Structure 1
Amino acid sequence: MNSRKTWAALAVAAAVTVGVPATAGTANAAPKKPAKAATAKQVAAARAAQAKAAAAAKAAAAKAAAAAKAAQAKAAAAAKAAAAKKAAEAAKAVQPVTAVGVVTAVDAAAGTVTVQAASGSKLVAGTAAVFKVSATTKVTKDDEKTTLDALAAGDKVTVNGVKSAAGLFAAHVNATSPEPVAEPEPVEDPVVDPVEDPAADPEPAEDPAEDPAPAEDPEPAV
């Protein structure tokens, strides 16, 4: 009998427990506080990450700018060196030249004058230098402005110009006509006295056999 009462009490208690709504236990529980500490930590971490990313981007930009500036400086230095080298080669390729000598040939059609250079620059001295004469070349002869076809072989000449890989180019040609050669004066035939012919008969000598003239007696001394 007692056993039945015990089981019945247990069954009632279990039924009551099962019938209680779940919200009842939740309502009786203590309310939870919001996780403010966790949120602040996440915000700080995010800000730190942003700052780190910004610093990295700034460093990368500065590095890229420095590299670009260095590349520009290097390119400018290379261009300057190339220009200096080109100028040096050009200066070496074009050299001033002077030839002093005598005209040996003139080709007006080809626009050249050949000079047997007795002196002047080492590049042409002692050689037959062929100068190209252009429309800008100043040509004078006997102190008068003229053209290339007025020059002639035998003229004394001084040529100033330049020498390049393409040849000799005249800037100024100053020629002088050769001095006229004086004709020798005619020589008169010398007057020669006639020479007697030794084969001619000599004049007859006096006969030594003739008596000499008598000598006069000297006067007596007083």
Structure 2
Amino acid sequence: MKRLALAGLTVAVASLSVPALAADLPYPSEPAPSYSDPVPAARFDWNGAYAGGNLGWGWGNFDNSGAADTEGNGVQGGVHAGYNYMITPNVLAGVEADFQLSDLNDTATSGGVTAETSSDWNASVRGRLGYTFDRFMVYGAGGLAIADQSLKVGGNSADTTAVGWTLGAGVEGAVTNNVTARVEYVHQDFGSEDFNISGTSYKSEMDDDIVRAGVSYKF
């Protein structure tokens, strides 16, 4: 009887201690929630002022009255600065000014008369209208163009500052949040200019086409 009582007491004690030990065991922690949806990236901000430089190639035509027609082509490079404003989330309007050094020189002879034409610089003030695809933009631009123009006949020359118009288009993309790169085509037309050389009157009509690449820093 004593052995039976002792065995029963042992079983009772064991049954009481098992739940207590189980209560003391650590519970596994719940897994952290996972987020499968990516956080959307912020759109590129085209608003604000910018400045930069560009380099390209230009082709010029000089239709001369009283002297031979000439053509010229060469490297063009310069600086530009402007301001962009987003009208809608995708439509941009802006204004830009630029100054370029050019190398448009040519000489031709007709009827025994030699004519030499050149243009050493040009500048413009243009309005821009663009459509953006976040970090990428296509745009058109147009406005006022100004250029140096020179005509030399028979060893004597005359210079003028020609005023005309410009139209163009391009594509631009954001390289970083502050740096953009562009490629554009520009046409400039300066109409007809009068030159008086050694008492003889001449007319010269100049226009040029430019393809150039540029980099801008957005402030």
Q: Same fold (TM over 0.5)?
A: no
User: Which has the bigger relative contact order, CA under 8 A and spacing at least 6?
Assistant: 2
Q: Which has the higher strand share?
A: 2
Question: Which has the larger share of helix?
Answer: 1
- What's the TM-score, normalizing by structure 1? 0.31
